[in-house]
Amino acid sequence: MQRYFLEVAYNGARYAGFQRQENSVTIQSEVEKAIQVYYRKPFSLTGSSRTDAGVHAYQNYFHFDGDEVGDMHPEEAVYHLNAILPSDIVIRKMIPVGAEAHSRFDAIARSYRYIVYRQKDPFLYQRAYYYPYQLNIERMQEAASEVMLYTSFEAFSKKNTQVHTYECAISQSVWREELGMLYYEVTANRFLRGMVRGLTGTMLKVGRGKLSMEAFRDILRARVHASAAFDVPAHGLYLVRVLYPAIDERKSFC
């Protein structure tokens, strides 16, 4: 049985999240429906990274098994599947991979971006977080750098999450300012539920002067659920990249 990776991108505004859910429209349910329409049989997809309701992705992955794809070049199949999918979801690539390749467990890193704008702009509505306040960017940058000194992020994980460890290895944590926009860029080997929004919201409090750097360090050290600020909206968050060494280095996963 041939296995394939599907690279997808989407605007998550209309969806209840990435993963299939009962009685809800999700990215997975829409892609599975399109594949079933095209191949006239059901397929079960496995996703690489869950995203919450309203969160967007420049890049995410599914994998599935299907010898039927072999009857048509993957690029041609992608063209037809995109014609079936709604306009806010696109399949970018269909990549033949080895039988043991796994879109979730083989990923070695994921990168997220949170976008903030401070001048009212209707074209950014529901695509970034409108936050019209004075911010100390240097202090936020200091907080972002501080994040990289820690490996346990229990304080930045929402409750009711089924994980065995709160350990994450963060390799990038930085605020970037460009043309009046603020971007928080963070890369790690794994992320906890709500973690990027918790980091972003808490650092925005630091930037406004509502939280001192020492208090921010206390939250990092405290490892207490919900001590971070999770109140930034989902629509400012983007999954930017899921990294697989074999795909990135050889353009094929064997």
CA pair distance 191, 195, nearest whole angstrom:
6
The sign of the torsion formed by the CA atoms of 177, 178, 184, 185 equals: negative
- H or E stretch at 240: strand 237-243
| Best CA proximity match to 193, nearest among 250, 133, 234, 138 | 234
CA pair distance 136, 207, nearest whole angstrom:
5
Q: Active-site residue numbers?
A: 52
User: Can you read off the two tokens belonging to residue 215?
Assistant: 């208090």
| Best CA proximity match to 183, nearest among 131, 222, 134 | 131
Region class of 54: left (phi > 0), else alpha (psi between -120 and 50), else beta: left
